[in-house]
Structure 1
């Protein structure tokens, strides 16, 4: 059936439950037949009038809070655009046939937004279930209390359903932001031209698809050179990702102008000292010269890169290690070292999530990494990266973030 063939005004009036439409200013825009019937009001007595002029609190009850609670819920929906299921409310209603006489009534309301074309809340749907009959003590005081409890349990169950739906929507939105951040802040391998490079990025179990770990690949000025770095920011999620993005971008820029990796990390350390959330962040950077077959490197509190020689020998590049990026209030020049490599060797940079395990010395994790790299050294970088992750990460995922970069030299 075509939507144009549906009379939505008739559908609204025929809805089996009590439903009213309010403006964000809490003026009745419409009310369906069931609402008017249960409220014992005519359409002229409701539409176009302010909600609490039609249904004020009982002036004879100093503890009446229905108007205040309902106003807070509707205002919140108008401001946030989120549905709100209210707890069971006592909201007495004046008898229209006997002015001054108030009837004890109980309601279970749900309020929801209706958005206009511009994305702003245009109307509020106020759906109500009257549960007065459940509350009235037909069978005496005990029966009345039982019915109150039943109604409260019903309301609480519905509130939980609403909360779960809100959490689901919030998580979906946060995940979309996370994926966009990951794509925007972590570089593609194409930035290092024809060199064979593989990168892997694994958030901790239960984290979003972004984390505090990062990597960077950049063509360096002068000769056939590239810079390869990895780093680690404490924490997970969007906050850590934001800090990660700042540090990665700063090191990428510094690497293009620095004389070597030590100077690049020195610049990054000065920058990290003024970035909130960069406390105890670590990084290691390498400058690879393919013409001279050399690797210059420097580490700021980070696990050492691994150079896998063609014959299977593994060498940890740990001769230029310094404290984390923000460790020194007045940074001194960071050390750097250099090593040679033969064509066909492999350089591997990683974060501690790959090698650290709770209750285990990190040397055990480093030994596992060296063994895996040596055994799979002849595989192409993509296959090698997959093999290393398969062998070193727990089957159910690691409790820490992991970044891995493999470069075939």
Structure 2
């Protein structure tokens, strides 16, 4: 059976109901026929213009909030890449033929993202149900009072829902600020590692709750050695930040007396059994010895460190990977492996926020990381860390936080 040829542009124009497409800057890219008809605007009056230049707020209504709420909803879609369903709003429209005359309108909007090939929001679909006639419905004799009650009830419940949503967002924002402050206090400040050069970065997630599970740690050891770790706690918010602080401190202390990374992770795994919320935490630990030019590492379910060689090739250290902390009911010795390095090489440890993307195989993210490392191989750790974040993180942010450590070997 031959696949039908579908004219999607024609389908868009014929959609029953108001639908418009906007750029991430909230400029009209297209609108279907119902949108133009019900909004009282021509295509030339919309396309290429900023939405709130076309539809400003009614200056005669001091309680008007339709423009602000619509803008916040659309910006959330652009920032998160997630659909945002709004409560019923009143958003009056100025008569295009009679400037200064405003028509009362009630709308039920939904804003949804259209993602581009790079995973970023390329368009915002703005679908609107015009419910003005329902709200202002009038029946036969004797029904006017009931219609007014219905109108008031619907609008009041919608406003209450919108206010509850706003309070929740404000509470999430406060929790995010507290969690970030707590995390900043617990993560070690960058400090010199003898004569070695290193850079650390942390980027929080864009969501109010999706923050504070990632950490990093660097410790100087006797001799010309250091140990470095990067970890990721399952969970978000204040709870994850507290668990992160406990695990980071425990591993940092253990690394100073352990014989190697596997032994350090074994001790951390036993400790994690007594910490609520620590199960399924992933972490990678590496010991770097400049005298023997050797990296010894062990991973508990974490993405593999990337070793950038001076010639631009990249090796992923994936020969000593075991399940995350608390994944086994009994204690089992963890594996470790060693690999040599040459002077001028670079080691990058990171959390999954740097390489994992929804609907994408992890190998694609690792290949993207390798390519970025190769292209910037001559950069020092500080500019290299910035380049990796710029290359690999979407400009709109990600739904997971990201920790990164770059060390010149």
TM-score normalised by length of structure 1:
0.60
Gaps of 5+ in 1: 1-139
Match of 1:223 in 2: 223
Find the aligned partners of 2:210 and 2:198 in 1 and give their Cα distance: 22
Indicate the RMSD between aligned Cα atoms, in angstroms: 2.6
SS for the counterpart of 1:339 is: strand
Q: Specify whether residues 244 and 152 from structure 1 end up closer, same or farther in structure 2 by C-alpha distance, changes over 3 A only.
A: same
Distance 1:144-1:170 versus aligned 2 partners, 3 A rule: same
Q: Which has the higher contact order (CA 8 A, sep 6+)?
A: 2
Which position in structure 2 is the counterpart of 1:259?
Answer: 259
Distance of 2:161 and 2:231 partners within structure 1: 41
Q: For residues 363 and 150 of structure 1, what CA distance do their matches in structure 2 show?
A: 55
* Equivalent residue, structure 1, for 2:246: 246
Aligned to 1:402: 402
* Correspondence 1:331-350 to 2 at 5 A: 331-350=331-350
Residue 323 to residue 209, structure 1, CA distance change in 2 (3 Å): closer
CA distance in 1, matches of 2:346, 2:153: 65
Which structure has the greater CA radius of gyration?
1
Preserved CA contact (<8 Å) 1:179 1:209: no
Give yes or no for contact 2:210–2:401 (8 Å, CA) kept in 1. Answer: no
Give how far 1:263 is off.
0.5
* Aligned counterpart, 1:175: 176
Q: What is the CA distance between 1:303 and its match in structure 2?
A: 1.6
Extract unaligned runs of 5+ from structure 2.
1-140
| 1:124-143 matched pairs, under 5 angstroms | 142-143=143-144
Call closer, same or farther: CA 1:195–1:330 in 2, change over 3 Å. same
1:312 aligned residue: 312
Question: In 2, Cα distance between the equivalents of 1:257 and 1:191?
Answer: 21
| Matching residue of 2:189 | 188
Higher mean C-alpha deviation, range 232-241 or range 308-317: 232-241
Partner in structure 2 of residue 94 of structure 1: none
CA change 1:310–1:274 in 2 (3 A) is same
- CA distance in 2: counterparts of 1:292 and 1:279, whole angstroms: 35
Change in CA separation of 1:150 and 1:380 when aligned onto 2, cut-off 3 Å: same
Flag the 1:267–1:372 CA change in 2: closer, same or farther, 3 A. same
The aligned residue for residue 377 of structure 2 is 377
Name the SS of the counterpart of 2:330 in structure 1: coil
TM-score, normalization by structure 2? 0.60
Contact 2:229 2:284 in 1 (8 A): yes
- d(CA) in 1 for partners of 2:168, 2:332: 47
Distance in structure 2 (CA, Å) of the matches to 1:162 and 1:359: 34
Distance 2:173 2:392 in 1: 30
Q: Distance in 2 between matches of 1:208 and 1:250?
A: 25
Q: Counterparts in 2 of 1:315-326, with a 5 A limit?
A: 315-326=315-326
Structure 1 residue 162, shift from structure 2 partner: 5.1
